[in-house]
Amino acid sequence: MTTNYFHDPALAEMAGRVEAGERLSFEDGIRLYRSDDLHGIGRLADIVRRRKHDRATYFNVNRHLNPTNYCYADCKFCSYFVKHNQEGGYTHNLEECLKIAREAHEQGATELHIVGGLNTRLPFSYFTDMLTAIKREFPDLHLKAFTMVELDFFANFYKMSDEEVIEKLRAAGMDSCPGGGAEIFAEETREKICTHKTDGNRWLEMSGKVHRAGLKTNATMLYGHVETIEDRVDHLVRLREQQDRSGGFQCFIPLAFYPPGTQLSHLPGPSGIDSLKTMAVSRLMLDNIDHIKAYWVMLGKKLAQTALHFGANDLDGTITGGGELMESYLVENRSDNEASKEEIIELVREAGFVPVERDTLYRPLHSYAAA
């Protein structure tokens, strides 16, 4: 490739290594972030994106189920949780959970994404009964359920080994796990935003155990709050190392911090440029995670569409009536709050890519023609 594409000589130097498929270092990640050559960064990420997926862009049809918003963790970035002595708390009973699953099924969803608060007033059987009942009625609905933080909480609170927790949930119907709760691994920063939460090493350890049990998981990074660029690149390197060890991450999702209603509401959140850079740096650093998701719910549709040119190859799902957790961080522009399948297909086509409807495990279900 001609180096003339790059204004920044650091990127021109990196281009050869990216084309040769060489692994980038921590310092490379910092250099990418510090560069103001946005086109150059995007171009590098696009080389890798096209090598892995060509023009395919994935989405699925899914629905969220957030069983309870009671949570003791008190994370500063979260506007969803309430404590047991506060108003506004809820816990869905089994019938309500089944109703949401039924609606999802009727709307053509192939996946139910289940996450909730760390509720100290529920028995473990609440969760296994919920999974069992949903699976009994909808055996084909993929249950992407519980973050590593929830699994860690279950093991501690119900006094079981990690393996026992994973096995019991799997037997009840858990098919894979979502990527939440990773936030930012760097210890000092994590301490500032989520003191009471599972620490980064434990999050990674639990992922390894789920992978070894044969289940896939996703991974996330919450950015745009009080973290540094070094914290972000450290997060990506630690995920890459865990993937080398256990290999079960199928998708990475950078989550743009949305401040309203949180204890960090005085912060501005990340800019659009920062989000595009983060997408590209994630694609370039995570050479062993196949899929990078531009989560349109948090980025907004327009930025998510642009992110497809910055390394992303997945837009997540259509949201047909969101769960309560997701609604707490939906971007302000209300027209961005829903997307039909047709709209997602059009967003992908307009950006110059080929829409592919997938299941949770990235098996193609239906491919649509390019524009």
- Contact residues toward ligand V47 (CB under 6 A) are 77-79, 178-181, 183, 218, 220, 222, 253, 255, 257-258, 262, 295, 298, 316, 329
3-state secondary structure of 289: coil
**Nearest-approach distance from CB 371 to ligand V47, in angstroms:** 26
Collapsing DSSP states into helix, strand and coil, what is residue 221? Answer: strand
Q: Which of 18, 56 has the CB closer to ligand V47?
A: 56
| Beta bridge pairs of residue 152 | none
CB-nearer residue toward ligand V47: 15 or 114: 114
- Per-residue b or e along 100-129, where b marks 16 or more CB atoms closer than 10 Å to that residue's CB: bbeebbeeebbbbbbbbbbbeebeeebbbe
- The residue nearest ligand V47 at its CB is 180
Cross-strand bridge partners of residue 367: 356
User: What contacts 343, CB < 8 A, 6 or more positions away?
Assistant: 301, 318
- How buried is 78 (Cβ within 10 angstroms: 0-12 exposed, 13-18 middle, 19+ buried)? buried
Of the pair 77, 353, the CB lying nearest ligand V47 is at: 77
Query: Which residues lie across from 143 on neighbouring strands?
Result: 112
Least Å from the CB of residue 218 to ligand V47? 3
Report the nearest approach of ligand V47 to the CB of residue 33 (Å): 20
Closer to ligand V47 by CB, 18 or 298: give it. Answer: 298
Nearer to ligand V47, 173 or 317 (CB): 317
The least distance separating ligand V47 from the CB of residue 328, rounded to whole angstroms, comes to 7
Smallest distance, ligand V47 to C-beta of residue 296, A = 10
Least distance to ligand V47, CB of residue 257, Å:
5
* Cβ distance to ligand V47 smaller for residue 24 or 193: 193
Tokens representing residue 58 in the block: 């994935």
